[in-house]
Amino acid sequence: MSGIRIAILVVAAFAAVGLALLVRNMVTPKREPVAEVAAASKPVAQVLVAKHDLAIGVRLTPADMTWQAWPVEGLNASFVTDGTAPALPAVMPDKAVQKVARAATDAVSANGPMQAFEGSIVREAMVAGEPIVARKVVRAGQSGFMAVVVQPGMRAMSIPINAETAAGGFILPGDRVDILQSRQGAEAKTYITETLMRNVRVLAIDQKIDPEKDAKSIVGAIATLEIPATDVEVLARGRAQGEMQLALRSYADIGGAPGRGGQARDNMQGVRIFRAGQVSEVARP
């Protein structure tokens, strides 16, 4: 056999193999990757989650919350969605997943899910990306709200007030005050005035823990104050001795921790004595 015939046979063989492969590709249908098909078939819903780590006692704002895509099959009935029903396949074999998805959508507040949680206090710490659920926060008026607001190592105590003893009613929740008391001394016509506590935070006036929008004053009958645990007896003793007054502090003078009146050493501490219309102050050690 000549070389030309051999070359022709080799070329023909290669051509036959190529034609066979081409016909096979045309007949066999293309298959998508299994993982991509599975991912595309799984519906997702938008779930309300923590935008960053949230510590106990944090008051929630829109900046603390965000929406995150969540697989419908992993939804819990306590999760809060954006109110948009997830796109479910026409035929979904798992009826339980479908039921959970509908329950999560129905749980959305009529006023908007994020707005419903705004202003709530974190009761259990949450990490970034963790769903925000009702049991981990507490809203104003709910049981346990004040216990979350009070800082660790502090106690909430209440004293009676009126417009005269509360700076004319211009003291609002969140302000800092000094607690003063005047009482009659051992001698006749002698009155002693002393500062019981300094730089104390006002937690609430009556049942109001937040002033209303543009509110400039709240006239109430009870002021709830945040007192260090080691100083609660000071306020308890003051209530037994008589009427107390709240002195409103400037925002420029609210730095530092609260404490007893005699603990601050940078200002003169003393007892002011009123006698026969004259005022004298005796320095305390």
Q: Is the pLDDT of residue 60 over 50?
A: yes
Non-local (6+) Cβ contacts of 228 within 8 A are 153, 154, 155, 257, 258, 259
User: pLDDT tens, 82-106?
Assistant: 876 555 544 444 555 555 545 544 4
Model confidence band, residue 155 (pLDDT cutoffs 50, 70, 90): very high
Q: Which residue has the tokens 């009126």?
A: 162
3-state helix, strand, coil in the chain (%, to 5): 30, 30, 40
- In the chain, the amino acid numbered 235 is L
Residue extent(s) of CATH 3.90.1210 domains in the chain: 41-138
Per-residue confidence (pLDDT) for residue 117, from 0 to 100? 87
Q: What is the largest CA-CA distance in the chain?
A: 144
Instruction: Report domain 41-138's class.
Output: alpha beta
- pLDDT band for 169, please (50, 70, 90 cuts): confident
pTM over cut 0.85: no
Which of 8-12, 210-214, 281-285 is least confident?
281-285
pLDDT at site 191: 77
Mean pLDDT over all residues of the chain?
76
